[in-house]
Amino acid sequence: MCGIVGYVGTKKATPILINGLLSLEYRGYDSAGIATIENKKIIVKKDKGRVNNLYNLDGINNLNGTIGIAHTRWATHGKPSKENSHPHMDNSQNFAVVHNGIIENYRKLKDFLISKGYSFLSETDTEVIPNLIDYYFKNGVHIHEDKFLSSVKLAVGDLEGSYAIEVISPLFPDEIIVVRKNSPLVVGKANGENFVASDIPAILSYTKNFYLLDDNEFGVVSKDNIKFFDNNLKQYEKNLKNIEWDASSAEKEGFEDFMLKEIFEQPNSIRETIGSRFSLGKPCVFDDLDISKEYLSSINKIYIVACGTAMYAGLAGKTVLEKLCKIPVTVDIASEFRYRNPLIDDKTLCIYISQSGETADTIAALKLAKLNGAKTIAISNVIGSSITREADYSIYTHAGPEIAVASTKAYTSQIVLLSILAMHFAELLGSCPLNEIENLKSDILDLPSKVQTILDDTTKIQDFAKQVYTQKDMFFLGRGTDYAVALEGSLKLKEISYIHSEAYAAGELKHGPIALIENNVVVIGIITDEKLVEKSISNLQEVITRGAKTLVITNQNIPNSHFDFVINIPKTDSVISPVLSVIPLQLLAYYISKNKGLDVDKPRNLAKSVTVE
């Protein structure tokens, strides 16, 4: 959830730290702070609210230290407040810490430290960390010649949960110590200065060379050197990766909001996701996916496991996988999957989807599958993310950085990638006529231009948004893949407009939900499968007779005289129709939110990367 930045070099740390935090605002947060070393003392400046508030704190412009750490917090323990903001220090003010994650046993550790004479200023779980480091620094049996590193190692050995941690100390004024477990952390290398961050975009403007930390790895970062140690504090060399992202991709490029920019980037993100994975008349290619026909023939089920929008992309993927591969597919919520003793063995293939690659519940579910002998595939948008390092195989959407909290281009790219994966499996298995696969390939290749067609004229969607933005409740209806898209459309509306909405399989309407339909209630129907047109129209007619205001999104020739608004979209194969039908729903949620005057990119209570369970 939180964002982390660190700097050590020859320049003033404060501007670099704050600039890094500004680049991490998309993760969602409620407070921010920095700590630097000034004249052999740690100086902390922090407060609740936006990163820009730091500029107004007394004395922050007088900080000249060339080493520092910074943090944006999303509250898990303790309300948003100055006291609960990071960084946190120990009682002796010898150590300052920023932490992303959650310490599950902090109460036990806090009681232990209190028994040793320590006191606490905040309600957070994080404050136990600097005090534990101080305790071991003074009392520990040190296992390394670097007493600072040894103390951090002893302290994190007591922690249960997830963490990415940065530590500085005036006793060791030239180095930052970092460590991670189940929470992202990278170290950026430059000339005479080095950087730390929870996300690459935070420091991408300073360097394109990165070390990606793995679980239980420690780093000692100084301005001229970066040393890495394993969990036994044995030093080793680590590969440096060059990340050729364009830092300007994190800018709005003339769009009013990141979310709108990312909606309009979807033709390109889909094109990039397709990449060179297939062309007409040639089989699909996944260079990093060593899965054979023999293995696919041996499995009896596939799980697709994810959270939120990624899970809804999985529902669309289920349809195409089952149709082409003839293998049963179950889509499950990651936070539920791991606690219900799922039936997993070596005949199970598990696919895990996470835009950030850091979703804690999804990573935990993946680890469970591996323990039970299943092969695992990660689908992510972030190269080198935690989930891609845990999985047996990883494939990437290549959608580019997604800054807005509400996911748009990641969703459509995930569906496209799942569809290509299904075609690849079907080609290996020989489970589907080649002409059907070729037709689907043709339709997928046409998706970027068809998405662009929808984006070229948003007038009707904007008009409908103006009419309904004051509503308190809305309903989304669909059948088959249209129901999968209804779920995602409903989620988008909830996320950024705070309007209560529900999605239902249209045939279920009469089994209870129709009791909620009354005069002027908004009902949105999606109709893209020619086999289900008559049934879907019949379901919508039931709400019209009860006074509902209706919007229909369709690629079918339907009589529209009974509907208030109809948005026509291009035709495509029904299994990939969610890629097109979701675009008007993304735009509708966006324009409703804008009409309400809300912060589209940073909806309340939400964060981009959910790294706590």
DSSP string, 76-141: SSS-SSTTTSSPEE-TTS--EEEEEEEETTHHHHHHHHHHTT---SSS-STTHHHHHHHHHHHH--
Amino acid at 209: N
Paired tokens of 323: 């149709």
Q: Which among 300, 264, 278, 529 has a CA at the least distance from the CA of 416?
A: 278
Paired tokens of 386: 């935690």
Given the residues 181, 189, 441, 608, select the one marked as catalytic: 608
Contact predicate 50/32, CB 8 Å: yes
**Torsions phi, psi of 560, nearest 5?**
-110, 10
| DSSP state at residue 470 | T
The CA distance from 64 to 598, in Å, is 38
Given the residues 2, 307, 325, 432, select the one marked as catalytic: 2
C-alpha distances (whole Å) from 585 to each of 119, 121, 464, 603 are 51, 46, 11, 17
Q: Strand runs (DSSP E) across 129-243, as ranges?
A: 161-169, 172-181, 186-189, 194-197, 209-212, 217-221, 226-229, 235-236, 241-242
The CA distance from 388 to 372, in Å, is 19
The CA distance from 540 to 526, in Å, is 10
Going by their DSSP bridges, the two strands 3-8 and 329-333 should be labelled as: unpaired
User: What 3-state DSSP class applies to 588?
Assistant: helix
Q: How long is the chain?
A: 613
The CA distance from 230 to 215, in Å, is 9
Q: What share of the chain is helix, strand, coil (3-state, %, to 5)?
A: 40, 25, 40
Contact predicate 420/278, CB 8 Å: yes
Whether residue 325 lies in the annotated active site: no
Whether residue 608 lies in the annotated active site: yes
CA 305 to chain centre: 14
The count of C-alpha atoms lying within 13 angstroms of the C-alpha of 239, restricted to the half-sphere facing its C-beta, is 5
Q: Does 342 sit behind a cis peptide bond, omega within 30 degrees of 0 on the bond before it?
A: no
Give Cβ neighbours of residue 487 (< 8 Å, ≥ 6 apart): 312, 315, 476, 503
User: Which residues are annotated as catalytic?
Assistant: 2, 608
